[in-house]
Amino acid sequence: MPALDALSIPSGTSNPSSQKPLLLGIEHIQLNVHSTPETLEKDLVRVRQFYINALNLVELPPTPSILPPKPTQPSHLAILWFAFPTNLQQHIHVVLKSDSPEGTIYGSELERLGRGTRAHPGLVVAGGEEGVKEVRERFLREGCEGVEDVKYFEPSEGAKGRWRFHGRDLWGNTFEFLAWDD
């Protein structure tokens, strides 16, 4: 693969190697698995078998502070987290959901944004709150729609507090950008 400097950078863009990094890496990737209330238990077993046996990943408990509080969680939904044995800080989140209106984890705010899927990468941003706000402003300047406001999630149960937002690029792909408290 050629070095970044050897690549042709289109006019109107800047060479990222000449700027301080804004994105630090991938924190998680979220994938969707279709399930139904009738098959949820069997699907949970199969998902665990696949990600642990086929990919040699380690199952982690989901951090409770990641999900916004909700009075009731439909019984036909589940989130499983897996990590690499060599790096527990990078996750694959697998969401089992149905097509029913109740089959949404995050509720009406995301429905309002028109997302048909929750599959997305979660990218770690440099610079804390200001860095996350800068990425959001860049999304808006580029004409992206479906860009949430930046929100702060308080630390809880061993998880650090964090700033984050979700946004869709010009082609409808969903991204999550987050920065953890120091």
pLDDT for 100: 56
pLDDT for 134: 92
pLDDT for 70: 47
CA distance 96 to 77: 6
pLDDT for 136: 94
Domain 22-180 bears CATH identifier 3.10.180.10? yes
CA distance 29 to 84: 12
Task: Please list the ranges in the chain whose pLDDT falls under 50.
Answer: 1-7, 9, 68-73, 75-76, 103-116
Question: pLDDT (tens digit, 9 = 90+) per residue, 28-60?
Answer: 998 888 888 788 889 899 999 988 988 789 999
pLDDT for 72: 42
Alpha helical stretches, state H, the chain:
40-49, 108-112, 128-141
pLDDT for 106: 44
pLDDT for 89: 85
pLDDT for 111: 40
